[in-house]
Structure 1
């Protein structure tokens, strides 16, 4: 079942001198089982939008239908607690949320908070560790002894242990080196392709969006500016330029080549095809 968002609006500090409208009539149908990117400049409403998906924020107006839950204005927090088991939200730098003395206790906290007995929760922890590339030798270690990338894996395991149907990732590779970012994105792609998790990725990294995502949503000043499949999206670099987003390297190279007089078809989005296209045109003029 897709995620349906209808006429969603959100106002912070309503009725005060600090009132600020962050979302304006958002209408979206986000496909199930796909990897969807949500992009836009800082302040465009990305984080506000995704925090509605597991009830951290309640709409000021409009509705959301997700994982069998209907979210509407004035809904009580107690009515959306179960939703947070179905929709896992991974904030930027989730490792900052680690707090228990051992990794086992940290990952088991979520299930126990939902009423799972300690023994069963610990069994779930052992099953989830391989999914994030860790083994049982980590169980009794302190999470604060780990590297940054390992801490992030532990934090993500603490969400995956609840077996959510939807995983919302807010800048999940922030602060990681290129290798760490690649490993993290490979983990998320496995969760999508092998475990059939619906993934929503909030990101400024257009290289990741191009390489890993199926669907793209562009927000601008709290409104949906563009929505399309990823291939169509990158055939139109003007959509990114319009909102001040830096296109991926291959798109920038295509634009430079076009300025030099080369005829580059819009559908070319990989380097091998681009090299072949340029070589053929060079050879014609030799």
Structure 2
């Protein structure tokens, strides 16, 4: 099965409130199938509106969005939006607040069951989804509300993954999680990406974007300012300031080392930066 790409052509969107504000203005963007895309920008920049359009939750005011072979525009029907959503899974911020069933298995099975899948297919989907988020099968009979915060978050994500979307949208997936739960969840998402899932990550955590994304989409006041690899986005401190973005820790430390006379190759990863420093120190000891 060919994985769907995403093509956004001259898309604008206005909320019909008293201000009739333009949330997106003539956005053009192509996302390759299998990409890991960080979508960043200040609050109100248009990030959530953009992914809501990709998920078919709203229609564009102008322009078109194509996901695979499905194209939607201002006049698209509810059925066309539904067809688009079959490709896309959307994990909202704090998804554990949407858990409702008496046990984990029933909660994860809800989506596939509503798709009309057979009982055997639903059972397999639940099994696979638990594996994908790194949770043991023994949790299936447990109440989701008896689990830790990180486990509840992963159960909620498993409910989306059980429907086997080709594209996964995650809105601040690590908000409120401790360091260990954050690491586990980001590792699981990276594993999904390695298996071919297209990941769209909305986050204010630039370290996560720098470490995992292969493309960064920068939004500012409804405009797409730039779409480029993280090495390009985070190379210009003035650009980051102008668009209200923080510098990833590895990049910031690398700059500080450079000002102190220690020049190291650019890197987006703290682990890689540490390895470079160790190599440099060992080299000096040998000398």
TM-score by length of 1: 0.89
Quote how far apart the aligned CAs of 1:130 are.
1.4
Matched ranges for 1:32-51 at <5 A: 32-51=33-52
> What residue number does 1:271 align with?
273
Q: Secondary structure of the residue that 2:86 maps to in structure 1?
A: helix
Matched ranges for 1:32-111 at <5 A: 32-111=33-112
Quote how far apart the aligned CAs of 1:273 are.
7.2
Deviations 1:163-217 (A, max 9, x none): 1111111111111111111110000000011x21011111111111111111111
> What residue number does 2:20 align with?
19
Q: Does 1:7 align with 2:5?
A: no
2:108, 2:181 → 1: CA distance?
21
Q: Secondary structure of the residue that 1:180 maps to in structure 2?
A: helix
Q: Secondary structure of the residue that 1:48 maps to in structure 2?
A: helix
Give the total of aligned pairs: 278
Quote how far apart the aligned CAs of 1:18 are.
3.7
> What residue number does 1:182 align with?
183
1:169, 1:226 → 2: CA distance?
20
> What residue number does 2:203 align with?
203
Q: Secondary structure of the residue that 2:141 maps to in structure 1?
A: coil
1:226–1:239 Cα contact (<8 Å) kept = no
TM-score by length of 2: 0.89
1:235–1:266 Cα contact (<8 Å) kept = no
Quote how far apart the aligned CAs of 1:31 are.
1.8
2:251–2:266 Cα contact (<8 Å) kept = no
Structure 1's 258 and 80: CA in aligned 2 closer, same or farther, altered over 3 A? same
Root-mean-square deviation (CA, aligned residues, Å) is 2.3
Quote how far apart the aligned CAs of 1:258 are.
5.0
Runs (4+) off by over 4 Å: 257-260, 263-266, 276-279
Q: Secondary structure of the residue that 1:81 maps to in structure 2?
A: helix
Q: Secondary structure of the residue that 2:7 maps to in structure 1?
A: strand
Matched ranges for 1:236-251 at <5 A: 236-251=236-251
1:48, 1:255 → 2: CA distance?
34
Q: Which residues of structure 2 form unaligned runs of 5+?
A: none
Structure 1's 130 and 254: CA in aligned 2 closer, same or farther, altered over 3 A? closer
1:275, 1:128 → 2: CA distance?
39
Quote how far apart the aligned CAs of 1:94 are.
0.7
Quote how far apart the aligned CAs of 1:4 are.
0.7
1:76, 1:109 → 2: CA distance?
25
* Worse-superposed segment, 124-133 or 213-222: 124-133
